[in-house]
Each structure stands twice: as structure tokens, then as C-alpha cells.
């Protein structure tokens, strides 16, 4: 159990209260971003016992079948093809859609989105984002289309849906395939419809850090039965029958234990959402009006999983820089993360392959320099959030002194 020392250090008011300046760290143990949501332990263990009794651990097991049925139902789609993780699911979906040439993707995403293309010899063309939602800007997408463009991969980053209507219109008009990386967006909706049924297909991640986790796992969901069939062959080496292989495939299968974890957690989705929402609302309340600190907004009129608490730090107003704030939080054992920094285009192999990409990505560059994520989920209590926000307010209030201290220290 994480114990805050809030009682011992009621308010981190003066700069000397901060751990960086010799104060006692606010938390004894690290508060991680990405702590898994875990449902009913007993139900999970019962399912594991049943799997062991059945002696059917993977490849067409009853738990994976049931998981696929329930995910398809929750996403409002006809087909769910469960896989070992979302990276393989993206690779298989891209291949099954016969994408080649160039595919337009945001650079402000997890590296797996870009790798899934490059791994198959497809050029990821990095496109800029809408600074409000952090998702693909449809106007910029239009400008990135060339005769070699085969498709678009939109990413519903943080669970915020892309402008799906605009992307669908562009894809239809320009004859492009549209796939969504919905790794963050299970349980979210767009215009009242659950994420999952848009584009040719959508890809969910069920990694440990995701809203719904199956330890590791992923799935492609689609209403296209032919596509689902092709992906089922691909994830099982291309086997059409016991000793018949018709085409090239890989091993993308989800195992029964992962499905059991996924099924167990599915039963607690309501609890996960309400805890995440409670935490999000408290962060919002505690940080409102703090100059230069903006909490990423979710559309409250839609279903939303609130899995990420994302801040943008405008250094011109806070004076303390985003990375300095992260250093302060880390010294207090609050392990805030600057996710998706510095953008896919700034890491290898893309930095070397596409050295001019940054010229087309001004919003990506700005957002990547300002974003940080804070801990949320089941282990984070209202008391913890009060202390975390206390630290942030203290850092902003004493920004000048902190900045001077850190700059003098790095100057040696
Ligand atoms: N597309 C997008 C947009 C994605 O964000 C991702 C993955 C994918 C595609 C591909 O999905 P998968 O192939 O993974 O299914 C993490 C995850 O590894 C990755 O799944 C995720 N996105 C990405 C945003 O974050 P890291 O490097 O932050 O993960 P890791 O394992 O270091 O965990 C982060 C923190 O979470 C740790 O510091 C502690 C905590 N944690 C983690 C695990 C695994 C726990 O407390 N318990 C745990 O079991 O990349």
C-alpha cells in the first residue's frame, strides 16, 4: 500500500520542502504511470485452474473464443481476432489490408505504430497533429498524400478519437485504406458509437498498462469477414487446416491465460472507469487556473476510459520547464512520464531515413516538448492526488529559484 507522508509534511509550500532541495520525499515507493488495472483476483485464479484442468493452453481455446466474442460485442463489431499484442496485430492488419508504398501516420504516437509499417518495408509518412486532441490533423493528411500513398493509420491517442468523419471522407475520396490504431481507446466512443467499427479495421492493445489488460495482448476488430478470415490464417502461420499452409503467416496467437485475465478485467470495466474518472476530475479541480499547466480534455459527451492524465506544460508561463518538473516529481517518487517524446521522426531509424520530417511537424514538436503524464488508476487515492498537485503548485510557485538551482547544478 502506498503511504503518502502528507500528514508529516502537510503542505509542500516553500522550496525547501521539495525533496530536490533536501525535503523528505512525499512517497516512500514510486508512484508509476501505467500500474495495471486488476479485476477480481479469485475469478482469475479460478479461470487459471480451469485452464490447467482442461490442458488447452493456446490455439483456439475456449477462453480466447469467449474473449473475442465479448470484445466484438463491446465494440459493436462483427469480428474480433485476438492476438498476442497490438504490435503484431497492427502488422497483421497492415499486411491483410495489402498496404504497400507509403502510409500516413502521426509521429506523435508510440513507436510501434511506425515500426509496424517500416518492419514490412512500407514508408511511414509522418503527419502533424491537431494540438487540441493530439490526433491526426485531416488538413495536414490531405497535404501529405502522394501517388505512392496507399493508406492512413489514425491513432486515437490517449483514448481521444481522431476526427474520424474527416479521415473517412479523405480515404474514400482518395481511394486510400483507413486503419485505426486504437491501442488506447477500448471503451471510448465517437459520435455515440463505440470505437472499433470505424475504417477498414481497428487495433486494440491489452498490454498491462492499458485500460483493459490481458497481461499482454491485442486484437483487430472489423466488420469485414474476409479480412478477419485472412488475419486468422496469418496469426497461425498461414495454416488453413492441420497440415495445409496456403500463405505466409506468423505466430500472433493470444494464449488462454491472457484471455482469462482479459475476461476477468472485462467484468470490472465499470469500476476502472469510475476510478479513472474520479482521479481525472480531482486532478482537474486541483490544477485549474494554474498558469501554464493544461490538462488534456476529454469529450465528456462520449464514452471515455480516462486511462491517461496528460498535462501540457507551457514553460513560457510556468518558468519551470517540463523536464525540470518531471525531475522534481521523480525526486518525490512520483514517476511522471513524458510519453511519445521526442516523436517517432526523432528516433532511429526514422531520424536518419527521413531527416526533413520535422519541417512538416510543428505541432508534434511543440506537443512532444510539453507533454507529461501523471499516475492514475486503482492505486491512486484522492489523498495521493492532493499531494502530487501540491508538489506541482509548489514547483510553479517557486519556479525562478528552482530553475536557477537546476541550471547552476548542470553547469557544474
Ligand atoms: N500503438 C500505440 C498507440 C501504443 O501506445 C502501443 C503500446 C501500441 C500500439 C503497441 O501495443 P502493444 O504491442 O504493447 O500491445 C508502454 C507499453 O509497453 C506499450 O504497450 C504502450 N503502448 C506504451 C504507451 O507504453 P513503456 O515502455 O512505458 O512500458 P513499461 O512496460 O515500461 O511500463 C510503463 C510503466 O508501467 C512502468 O514504469 C511501471 C508500470 N508497470 C508496467 C508493467 C508492464 C507496472 O506497474 N506493471 C507492469 O506489469 O511502454
* Cβ(134)–Cβ(158) below 8 Å: yes
Looking at residue 7, its pLDDT comes to 46
Which residue's CA is minimally distant from atom 11 of ligand 1?
A: 86
Rg from Cα positions in the chain: 22
- Ligand 1 centroid to 73 CA: how many Å? 25
The CA-based dihedral angle spanning residues 387, 389, 391, 392, taken in that order and rounded to the nearest 10 degrees: 170
Dihedral sign (CA 164, 170, 172, 176): negative
* Cβ(28)–Cβ(387) below 8 Å: no
The CA-based dihedral angle spanning residues 205, 206, 209, 212, taken in that order and rounded to the nearest 10 degrees: 120
Top mutation candidate among 82, 119, 207 for ligand 1, by most atoms within 8 Å of CB? 207
Element (H, E) at 189: strand 189-190
- Ligand 1 centroid to 265 CA: how many Å? 17
Which residue's CA is minimally distant from atom 33 of ligand 1?
A: 34
Which residue's CA is minimally distant from atom 32 of ligand 1?
A: 34
Q: Does residue 112 have its Cβ closer than 6 Å to ligand 1?
A: yes
Q: Does residue 84 have its Cβ closer than 6 Å to ligand 1?
A: no
The residues that bridge with 255 in the sheet, in sequence order, are: 58
Query: Which residue is it, cell 512532444?
Result: 368
What number does the ligand 1 atom closest to the CA of 157 have? 3
* Cβ(67)–Cβ(254) below 8 Å: yes
Which residue's CA is minimally distant from atom 16 of ligand 1?
A: 209
Q: For the chain, percent helix, then strand, then coil, each to nearest 5? A: 45, 15, 40
Give me the count of residues in the chain: 412
C-alpha 102: how far from its chain's center? Answer: 24
Top mutation candidate among 110, 133, 344 for ligand 1, by most atoms within 8 Å of CB? 110
Burial tier of 121 (Cβ tally within 10 Å: 0-12, 13-18, 19+): exposed
Distances (CA, A) of 267 to 40, 66, 344: 8, 13, 35
Q: Does residue 135 have its Cβ closer than 6 Å to ligand 1?
A: no
How many beta carbons lie within 10 A of that of residue 264, not counting itself?
A: 22
- Ligand 1 centroid to 21 CA: how many Å? 32
* Cβ(345)–Cβ(360) below 8 Å: no
Q: Does residue 309 have its Cβ closer than 6 Å to ligand 1?
A: no
Looking at residue 154, its pLDDT comes to 98
* Cβ(231)–Cβ(32) below 8 Å: no
Looking at residue 17, its pLDDT comes to 87
C-alpha 73: how far from its chain's center? Answer: 22
For residues 324-361, one letter each, b for 16 or more C-beta atoms within 10 angstroms of the residue's C-beta and e for the rest, the string is bbbbbbbbbbbbbbbbbbbbbbbeeebeeebeebbebb
- Ligand 1 centroid to 241 CA: how many Å? 35
* Cβ(393)–Cβ(17) below 8 Å: no
- Ligand 1 centroid to 208 CA: how many Å? 7
Q: Does residue 156 have its Cβ closer than 6 Å to ligand 1?
A: no
Burial tier of 153 (Cβ tally within 10 Å: 0-12, 13-18, 19+): buried
Looking at residue 1, its pLDDT comes to 44
Q: Does residue 113 have its Cβ closer than 6 Å to ligand 1?
A: yes
Q: Does residue 86 have its Cβ closer than 6 Å to ligand 1?
A: yes
Top mutation candidate among 108, 155, 209, 219 for ligand 1, by most atoms within 8 Å of CB? 209
Q: Does residue 181 have its Cβ closer than 6 Å to ligand 1?
A: yes
- Ligand 1 centroid to 55 CA: how many Å? 30
- Ligand 1 centroid to 374 CA: how many Å? 14
Distances (CA, A) of 316 to 252, 376, 391: 47, 27, 19
For residue 342, whether the previous peptide bond is cis, meaning omega lies within 30 degrees of 0, is yes
pTM here? Answer: 0.96
Looking at residue 405, its pLDDT comes to 87
- Ligand 1 centroid to 135 CA: how many Å? 19
Q: Does residue 87 have its Cβ closer than 6 Å to ligand 1?
A: yes
List per-residue pLDDT tens for the chain, 412 residues long.
Answer: 444 444 444 577 788 889 998 999 999 999 999 999 999 999 999 999 999 999 999 998 999 999 999 999 999 999 999 999 999 999 999 999 999 999 999 999 999 999 999 999 999 999 999 999 999 999 999 999 999 999 999 999 999 999 999 999 999 999 999 999 999 999 999 999 999 999 999 999 999 999 999 999 999 999 999 999 999 999 999 999 989 999 999 999 999 999 999 999 999 999 999 999 999 999 999 999 999 999 999 999 999 999 999 999 999 999 999 999 999 999 999 999 999 999 999 999 999 999 999 999 999 999 999 999 999 999 999 999 999 999 999 999 999 999 888 888 888 7
Amino acid at each position: 500500500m502506498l503511504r503518502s507522508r502528507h500528514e508529516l509534511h502537510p503542505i509542500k509550500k516553500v522550496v525547501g520542502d521539495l525533496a530536490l532541495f533536501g525535503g523528505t520525499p512525499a512517497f516512500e515507493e514510486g508512484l508509476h504511470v501505467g500500474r495495471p488495472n486488476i479485476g477480481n483476483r479469485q475469478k482469475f485464479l479460478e479461470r487459471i485452474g480451469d485452464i490447467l484442468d482442461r490442458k488447452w493452453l493456446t490455439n483456439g481455446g475456449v477462453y480466447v473464443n469467449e474473449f473475442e466474442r465479448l470484445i466484438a460485442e463491446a465494440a459493436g463489431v462483427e469480428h474480433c481476432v485476438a492476438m498476442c499484442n497490438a504490435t503484431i496485430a497492427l502488422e497483421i492488419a497492415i499486411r491483410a489490408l495489402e498496404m504497400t508504398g507509403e502510409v500516413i501516420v502521426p509521429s506523435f504516437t508510440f513507436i510501434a505504430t511506425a515500426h509496424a509499417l517500416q518492419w514490412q518495408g512500407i514508408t511511414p509518412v509522418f503527419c502533424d497533429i491537431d494540438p487540441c486532441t493530439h490526433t491526426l490533423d485531416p488538413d495536414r493528411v490531405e497535404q501529405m498524400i502522394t501517388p505512392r500513398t496507399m493508406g492512413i493509420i489514425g491513432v486515437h491517442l490517449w483514448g481521444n478519437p481522431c476526427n474520424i468523419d474527416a479521415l473517412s471522407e479523405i480515404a474514400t475520396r482518395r481511394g486510400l485504406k483507413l486503419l485505426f490504431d486504437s491501442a488506447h481507446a477500448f471503451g471510448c466512443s465517437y459520435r455515440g458509437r463505440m470505437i472499433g467499427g470505424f475504417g477498414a479495421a481497428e487495433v486494440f492493445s491489452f498490454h498491462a498498462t492499458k485500460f483493459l489488460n490481458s497481461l499482454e495482448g491485442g486484437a483487430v476488430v472489423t466488420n469485414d469477414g474476409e479480412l478477419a478470415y485472412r488475419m486468422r490464417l496469418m496469426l497461425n502461420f498461414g495454416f488453413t487446416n492441420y497440415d495445409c499452409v496456403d500463405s505466409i503467416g506468423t505466430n500472433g496467437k493470444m494464449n488462454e491465460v491472457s484471455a482469462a485475465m482479459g475476461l476477468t478485467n472485462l467484468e470490472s470495466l465499470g469500476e476502472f472507469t469510475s476510478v479513472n474518472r474520479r482521479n481525472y476530475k480531482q486532478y482537474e479541480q486541483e490544477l485549474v487556473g494554474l498558469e501554464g499547466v493544461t490538462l488534456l480534455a476529454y469529450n465528456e459527451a462520449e464514452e471515455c476510459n480516462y486511462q491517461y492524465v496528460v498535462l501540457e506544460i507551457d514553460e513560457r508561463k510556468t518558468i519551470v520547464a517540463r523536464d525540470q518538473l518531471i525531475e522534481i516529481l521523480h525526486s518525490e517518487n512520483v514517476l511522471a512520464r513524458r510519453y511519445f517524446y521526442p516523436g517517432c521522426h526523432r528516433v532511429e531509424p526514422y531520424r536518419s531515413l527521413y531527416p526533413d520530417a520535422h519541417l512538416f511537424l510543428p505541432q508534434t514538436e511543440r506537443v512532444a516538448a510539453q507533454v507529461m503524464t501523471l499516475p492514475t488508476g486503482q492505486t491512486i487515492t484522492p489523498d495521493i492526488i492532493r499531494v502530487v498537485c501540491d508538489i506541482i503548485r509548489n514547483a510553479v510557485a517557486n519556479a525562478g529559484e528552482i530553475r536557477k538551482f537546476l541550471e547552476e547544478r548542470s553547469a557544474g
